[in-house]
Chains A and B, each alone.
Chain A
Amino acid sequence: MSGAAALSPALAALILFGVFFTLMFLRVPVAFALGLACLPVMFIEPRLSPMILFNETFKSYNSFILLAVPFFLLTANLMNVGGITDRLVRLSRDLVGHLPGGLAQVNVVLSIFFAGISGSSTADAASQGKIFIEAQVKEGYDLSFSVAITAVSAVLAVIIPPSILMIVWGGTLSVSIGALFLAGILPGLLLGFVQMATVHVYAKLRNYPKYPRSTLREVFAALAVSVPALMTPVIIIGGKIFGWFTATESAAIAVLYAGTLSIFVYRELKGPGLHSALLDTGKLAAVALFCVGTASAFGWLLAYYQIPKALLAGVGSWGMGVTATGFFIAFCFLVVGCFLDAIPAIIIVGTILEPLARAVHMDPVHFAMIGIISLAFGLVTPPYGLCLMISCAIAKVRLMVVLKDVMIMLLPMLGVLALTIVFPEIILALPRLISPEFLK
């Protein structure tokens, strides 16, 4: 295909990436920078025209799979306005509030619960930023610590199922989404545990406060109230695994379930709350997904010139084994995650690296989880870390102020990532146990 092309792959790559990075440096929004980078090539190459930009954006938006994105955002927003989040805060506090750094522990545990219901880290960061940052500072926690732990714990939402990233990955690279859901549980809980340990060390060193221990009775009362909410992950993940509904439908079920709970069980959903939940959902989902369209056009051009093949031509000859390849893949996604949102990164980079993983017979689910965990970390790494940006915006601090604490918290999490690379069983054990037919 590229044999008769006017541009050589090297030149096309230079134009595409050159324009993209220059525009990004000029603070052009990423979605527009990706689209604009496609234009010169489309005008120069006689066989191409800007109509490809329209075809590719249309094709990527005309997708039933991506519909899960607004649904999961809406679920999260309904949880917040409908009183579900409040119940889960209460439960988390009764469970871990008595540990050193009580409120920060609650922050992490709530993220774990939240992650099991919503599949969106940005929604997690936005809602928990409002709940925790100010409250933590008032109780004497450092501001940078409070912002950092809120952002870092939000990352769990895309690692613990359900997850938008798993749905997009499964859809673009044809991996079983049910298997990915199961695969995310153990690494997600491990990461949550590591974060709690980090909070513990901080709290001991800086003498952060704790709450009085709740009585067993209080714990059970909070648990009883939260049971309907905690059923959500069971319904979503179970429904997906047993094939009752598709990934997108499971997200729609989550919306309907959260809505039903808010209206009939907790009875806190009112008109204005519903309106703002819908509006916020539309705005956030649209800007995130618009970028997916232009990223797809960009990715299409990369494939047209067979640039991925050229980029990886050297790598194949390094003779890496599964583990070394895993580290290489994690490294690529961590770097890309600094500059790109996770969904476009999956579309562009996931497809580039896939042959590499296949060449060393890495399990597709293992490959997917390494990619998803690495990209999830990208949500808190600057310059483009959405969760970090959202948390900073809520606290009204500049990103640089909280960077040190974020990096400290990321270190043990990178350790967990390394573990999952070296011991694939952490990822593969659960899918193998529950639904081996999903694995190859």
Chain B
Amino acid sequence: MRKLVDAYHRLLNIALVASVAVLIVPVGLQIFSRYTALIPSYIWTEEMARFFFIWMIMIGAMVGIREGTHFDVDLWPELKPRANALLRIVGNVFVLVFALVFLWYGIKFVEFGWHQSSELAELPMPFIFLAWPLAGLTWLVFLGERFLLDLRTLTGQPAA
């Protein structure tokens, strides 16, 4: 199970690297085409850039939950490992609620956009909206793993 989550995490990382790398292409084309006659000035470059951008944000936000990199505000004194685990469980219950909302309403969001396509490149919008429920689902997986780890710390079992 652990390995499966690890593999999924790696896959997301690869997708993230790819999305950042391709972002530069449409914007570069846009500038290039304005000042030279070598390539036509494509109308869809800006839209393309925005779509990769949306996926980059959502994938990064998914990975951030597993890596604990979403920024929080720590107003607590230095806590013992068990107290820390308890606090994290409480906090993550709320993140879980958010993940469920993203999954449930995210599916509706995709259905809502089912027959829409983008204005310029005519990409089907569900390809974009899909990022939201997928984020919800991914958070559920990563949070589940986190809960198990924290529960182990809380009950004093060694991390397996």
Residue numbers of A with Cβ under 8 A of B are 23-33, 35-36, 39, 50-51, 53-54, 57-58, 61-64, 66-67, 70-71, 74, 245, 248-249, 252-253, 255-256, 275, 278-279, 281-291, 293, 339, 341, 383-384, 386, 389, 398-399
Q: CA–CA, A25 to B73, complex, Å?
A: 7
Q: Which chain A residues border B97 with CB–CB below 8 Å?
A: 36, 39
Contact A290 to B61, CB < 8 A, known contacts A28-B94, A283-B16, A383-B75: yes
Q: CA–CA, A341 to B16, complex, Å?
A: 23
**Closest residue of chain A to B17, judged by CB?**
A278
Residue numbers of B with Cβ under 8 A of A are 13, 16-17, 19-21, 23-24, 27-28, 30-31, 46, 49-50, 53-54, 56-61, 63-64, 67, 69-76, 78, 87-88, 90-91, 94-95, 97-98, 101, 105-106, 108-109, 112, 128-129, 132
Q: Which chain A residues border B56 with CB–CB below 8 Å?
A: 70, 282, 285-286
Within the complex, which residue of B24, B70, B75, B91 is in contact with A252, where a contact is CB–CB below 8 Å?
A: B24
**Closest residue of chain A to B125, judged by CB?**
A58
21 residue pairs A–B, Cβ–Cβ below 8 Å: A24-B73, A27-B74, A27-B87, A30-B70, A36-B98, A53-B101, A61-B53, A62-B53, A248-B27, A249-B27, A256-B28, A275-B17, A282-B16, A282-B17, A284-B69, A285-B20, A286-B16, A287-B60, A287-B71, A290-B64, A384-B73
Q: Which chain A residues border B21 with CB–CB below 8 Å?
A: 278
Q: CA–CA, A35 to B97, complex, Å?
A: 11
Contact A29 to B95, CB < 8 A, known contacts A54-B132, A64-B50, A256-B24: yes
Within the complex, which residue of A30, A32, A50, A286 is in contact with B94, where a contact is CB–CB below 8 Å?
A: A32
Contact A27 to B60, CB < 8 A, known contacts A32-B98, A256-B24: no
Q: Which chain B residues border A399 with CB–CB below 8 Å?
A: 74
Contact B57 A289 (CB under 8 A): yes
CB distance from A125 to the nearest CB of B (A): 13
Contact B76 A253 (CB under 8 A): no
Within the complex, which residue of B67, B73, B112, B128 is in contact with A383, where a contact is CB–CB below 8 Å?
A: B73
CB distance from B91 to the nearest CB of A (A): 5
Within the complex, which residue of A26, A31, A54, A245 is in contact with B91, where a contact is CB–CB below 8 Å?
A: A26
Contact A290 to B23, CB < 8 A, known contacts A28-B94, A252-B28, A256-B28: no
Q: CA–CA, A62 to B101, complex, Å?
A: 21
CB distance from B40 to the nearest CB of A (A): 18
Contact A27 B91 (CB under 8 A): yes
Contact A58 to B54, CB < 8 A, known contacts A27-B76, A64-B49: yes
The 4 closest A-B pairs by CB, nearest first: A286-B60, A29-B70, A290-B61, A282-B16
Contact B71 A384 (CB under 8 A): yes
Contact A249 to B31, CB < 8 A, known contacts A30-B71, A36-B94: yes
Q: Which chain A residues border B59 with CB–CB below 8 Å?
A: 282, 286
Q: CA–CA, A177 to B55, complex, Å?
A: 27
Within the complex, which residue of A54, A61, A285 is in contact with B109, where a contact is CB–CB below 8 Å?
A: A54
Q: Which chain A residues border B61 with CB–CB below 8 Å?
A: 31, 286-287, 290
CB distance from A420 to the nearest CB of B (A): 28
Contact A32 to B70, CB < 8 A, known contacts A26-B87, A50-B105, A293-B57: yes
Q: CA–CA, A39 to B96, complex, Å?
A: 13
A-B contact count (CB 8 A): 168
Contact B72 A28 (CB under 8 A): yes
Contact A61 to B19, CB < 8 A, known contacts A54-B105, A282-B59, A286-B60: no
Contact B17 A285 (CB under 8 A): no
Contact B98 A285 (CB under 8 A): no
Contact A53 B105 (CB under 8 A): yes
CB distance from A340 to the nearest CB of B (A): 9
Contact B17 A279 (CB under 8 A): yes
Q: CA–CA, A36 to B91, complex, Å?
A: 12
CB distance from B36 to the nearest CB of A (A): 13
Extra contacts besides A29-B95, A51-B108, A290-B61 (8): CB < 8 Å: A27-B74, A32-B98, A39-B101, A70-B53, A249-B30, A278-B20, A287-B64, A290-B70
Contact A31 to B54, CB < 8 A, known contacts A51-B109, A278-B20: no
Q: Which chain A residues border B30 with CB–CB below 8 Å?
A: 249
Contact B27 A252 (CB under 8 A): yes
Q: Which chain B residues border A53 with CB–CB below 8 Å?
A: 101, 105
Q: CA–CA, A169 to B110, complex, Å?
A: 31
Q: Which chain B residues border A255 with CB–CB below 8 Å?
A: 24
Which among A57, A286, A289, A384 has the highest number of chain B CB atoms within 10 Å?
A: A286
Contact A64 B46 (CB under 8 A): yes
Q: Which chain B residues border A39 with CB–CB below 8 Å?
A: 97-98, 101
**Closest residue of chain B to A66, judged by CB?**
B53
Q: CA–CA, A301 to B91, complex, Å?
A: 24
**Closest residue of chain A to B69, judged by CB?**
A287
**Closest residue of chain B to A276, judged by CB?**
B17
Q: CA–CA, A29 to B66, complex, Å?
A: 13
Contact A279 B16 (CB under 8 A): yes
Q: CA–CA, A291 to B69, complex, Å?
A: 12
Contact B71 A283 (CB under 8 A): no
Q: CA–CA, A306 to B23, complex, Å?
A: 37
Q: CA–CA, A287 to B49, complex, Å?
A: 19
Q: CA–CA, A351 to B19, complex, Å?
A: 31
Contact B94 A26 (CB under 8 A): yes
